[in-house]
Structure 1
Amino acid sequence: MALKMLVNLQEEVTCPICLELFTEPLSLGCGHTFCQTCITDNKEADTSPGGESSCPVCGIRYSPGNLWLNQHVAKIVGRLREVKLSPEEGQKKDLCVQHEEELLLFCKEDKKVICRLCEQSQKHHGHHIFLTEEAVKECQEMLQAALKRLRKEQQEAEKLEADIREERTSWKHQTQTERQRIQTEFNRLRSILDGEEQRELQKLEEEGQKTLDKLAAAEAELAQQSRLLKELVSDLERRSEWSAVELLQDMSGIMKWSEIWTLKKPKTVSKKLKRTFRAPDLSEMLHVFRELTHVQCYWVDITLNPFNLNLNLVLSEDQRQVIAMPIWPVKYYNCGILGSQYFSSGKHYWEIDRCGKTGLPPSVTSRTVYNHSLLTTTN
């Protein structure tokens, strides 16, 4: 009788989730109690968008903040754990509580271990009853199958986790490499700009110094001519005070100097610099660069189709280059050669390096070919 009461008490303080005695029991507003770990880590609880969950037993909504520690149940569990079964009582732990018969059968519908008398009762009438050994075997098989599936899932999860770690490492490496490349390229550009700046400044200095030297030489020459003219004028002024006889006697010399003297004008020097530095429009260059970067995501690899090759053309082995060899006078196609790839929709980008001005320009063509002689093209 005491054993039956003990078993009933144990059922009352058993967690419905882990089926073990309560550990730090928490109670809900509906009155049901669970282990703290079981109710807080319950992944199967229906959680509403507002953060509320439902009781695993009755389904009533509750807020995780309204859980409270049930001290009364905790004390009962503590006392129950202290109870030590005697050897005689321990031998009876596998007996039916109601009939005190050995538990040898398993009810599939109720999922309980029962005795022979329970099997014959109205409660289990029409139920599928198995020997405990058979039920345990089936349960073990199901358990092993579940373990096998979960271990496989675990391996896949570990592999995916490793793949993600590897991908993160790869992305970090790519980012670091690209960062270094960008810094290197901009340092190179800065170095080029600094070099160009020094060259432009040197050219400006050379041109300015050369012009200043010319102006200095012209200024010195004009100064010398001014001194000579000053002396000549002074001499003529002095002679103008001479007597008539003296003036007439030296008239030829005076006229000779005045007639042969001509002012030598310096060469004209441009008042503007021969060349002025014009910096390239970096904003326009960056705009074009960004546009090219944007279309790179639509890049496609195009090869040429050797099966519709014009007989006047020679295709390279990698099917990427074609050379005109005008051997045959007849043009078999309006278009020299087609690409192997075709597209029915979407955006696509490729580049063509065209050398020379002979032949048709690159075109986008449809797949419609009339008698192998006409292609509809769009330039």
Structure 2
Amino acid sequence: MATPPLEDELTCSICLGLYLEPVTLLCGHNFCGACIRDWGDRCDKACPECRKPFPDGAELRRNVALSAVLKAMRAGPAPAPGPDPARASGSALGARCPRHGRPLDLFCRTEGRCICSACTVNECRLHERALLDAERREREAQLRAMLEVSQQQATQAERQLKELQQQRNQIQATALPTQSSACSLASMISGKFSCLLQALEMRRALALKDIKVAETQALAQAQDGEERLQGHLEALASYDRGVRDLLEQLDDRAFLQESQLLVPPGPLGPLTSPQWDEDQQLAGLKESLSRLCDLLLDEGGHPRAPAEAADLGPMEAPGPLAPVPSLVCPLRRKLWQNYRNLTFDPDSANRHLYLSRQDQQVKHRHKPRDLAGPSSFELWQVRCAQSFQNGRHYWEVHASNHSVTLGVAYPDLTRHRQGPHTDNIGRGPSSWGLCVQEDRAQAWHNGEAQLLPGVSGQLLGMDLDLASGRLTFYSLEPKAQPLHTFHAIFTQPLYPVFWLLEGRTLTLCHRPEAKLPPELQEEASEPS
């Protein structure tokens, strides 16, 4: 007959764990001191083993001999020299539960730890449990799948790193010739146009500064992308080593505990490509120099609204001009087929509006001009000298900031303030307008407004198709996209008209190749 294990003889029949502070009843049976006291409080005063009653208030004496046996058993024998049997067998049979002293042969998924059979009766009674070998097989399958994913991410990150390094090398290779070209172009023009020497020198310095800033930003973007990719590769390599080391772990309990501490690196996220365009840098420089040439060759023209001496100073360089990128989206290039070079009408300008640049630029200043013409707006508005009655026409405007309104209006648009509004563009049936605010835009006509999303960028376009009765506003940065389209039957000539808040500047962008159709040249040049 097989002898029961010593461990079974030292188990409390109430908690099914090894005795803790064992006491002996009058009948001779032993129990944990806390277990039998709790039993006596909740149940009848009888031995759980033999049902023999024990008197109420009976003294429960501690079993000293049994306590010594349990203490020696928990201490365990000294380990013999030689290989570790638990590690050699690949199991946790040598480890025991710190609470109950039983072998750790189960894994509690709820608490994430190894447990014994006694734990399933008490602390982990309602928890999700599994055998150690079953839990290990499942964890190994998960780790191998995660290892495969991390290897794929590492391959992709290495490919992106190579592409980014190639882009950075191209930027470094092209940055120096670009600066040299800009210096040569600026020196040539400054030598030919001595009367604009100061303005050209300022433009030259600004162009070189912009190129340097663009180069620095592009290289910083490339370096940031490299650092992110290098860090991601290091994290993936560290995770790869951790997974491989864990897969070689033979101890089930250590494997399961360490597997919970192994966290895979997060996704890399999108990378920002370096923004570098040599042609765009040169195009902006050529456009500004072209405007300076036009200013030099201009010898007069019709009278314009007077400007303060401080506008240009003795020879102040022109302010910011709308850049003309060399890489133009197909939609904008198609719109350029009907491009019109417009000018502001000085007679219509409000007293606070100052015209410059051959009437291509208007600025709202706090100090008003001395006199206002009979046809000038009482509101902070100005209209163009050109009007259109048929055909299709497109023009572009650069705004220094938000709080401006662009639109078109019939000739009878009132010059006087009516109502509480600061402008009258789109407030009645004879005008249509787009009001650009800081966080949104509004399309106005006949006193009704339609709320639009905010406008990105400062370059705007207007496409007027009189044949089809359509007026479309475009945002041109970073690419051309329509903001709003009005549909109407236009019965009178239409003038472009603008409103701007104090401190704002509007610039009518010109293109050298833009010309009016022959049938519209005389009409567009008529005085207002």
Answer whether TM exceeds 0.5 for this pair: no
| Larger RCO (CA under 8 A, 6+ residues apart) | 2
Q: Tell me the TM-score normalized by structure 2.
A: 0.20
Q: Tell me the TM-score normalized by structure 1.
A: 0.27
Answer 1 or 2: which has greater strand percent. 2
**Larger CA Rg, structure 1 vs 2:** 1
